Amino acid sequence: MSNFMFLFRGGSRPSSPEEMQSQMQKWMGWIQRLREEGKYVAGDPLEGGGKVLKSRKTITDGPFAEGKEIVGGYFLVKAETLDQAAEMAKDCPIFDTGGSVEVRPVQVINP
């Protein structure tokens, strides 16, 4: 099996504590299912802010992308192929809030 990264972009913020609780339950259920299948490796949400480097001399506070482009978190998962990893991502709760998932293979670099 290979590792693949899910990059979560965009999605609307919950408008109430109840909506936040509902979204979190969906995410935790999805994560639990991936764990039980032995496919979940790691993942975390990302804090707001950060720095954007566009050259070695230019550093700005950010990120300054449109809301739908900001990476809000990531997962590292195991799958046999990119297509299988993409199929796993189809159940992601971020789609309920208008967000997207970018699925990328992780390149192995042997020293």
pLDDT in tens, 49-104: 777 676 666 655 655 555 556 778 899 999 999 999 999 999 999 999 889 999 99
With beta carbons less than 8 A apart as the criterion, state whether 97 and 12 touch.
Answer: yes
| pLDDT value for 7 | 93
How far is Cα of residue 29 from the mean position of the Cα atoms in its chain? 15
- Residue 90: predicted pLDDT: 94
pLDDT for position 28? 95
The DSSP secondary structure of 35-86, one letter per residue, reads: HHTT-EEEEEE--S--EEESSSS-EEES--S-GGGSEEEEEEEEESSHHHHH
pLDDT at 58: 61
Residue scoring higher pLDDT (1 or 76): 76
- Please, what are the domains in the chain? 2-105 (3.30.70.1060)
CB 1 within 8 A of CB 77: no
Task: Please give the pLDDT value at position 23.
Answer: 93
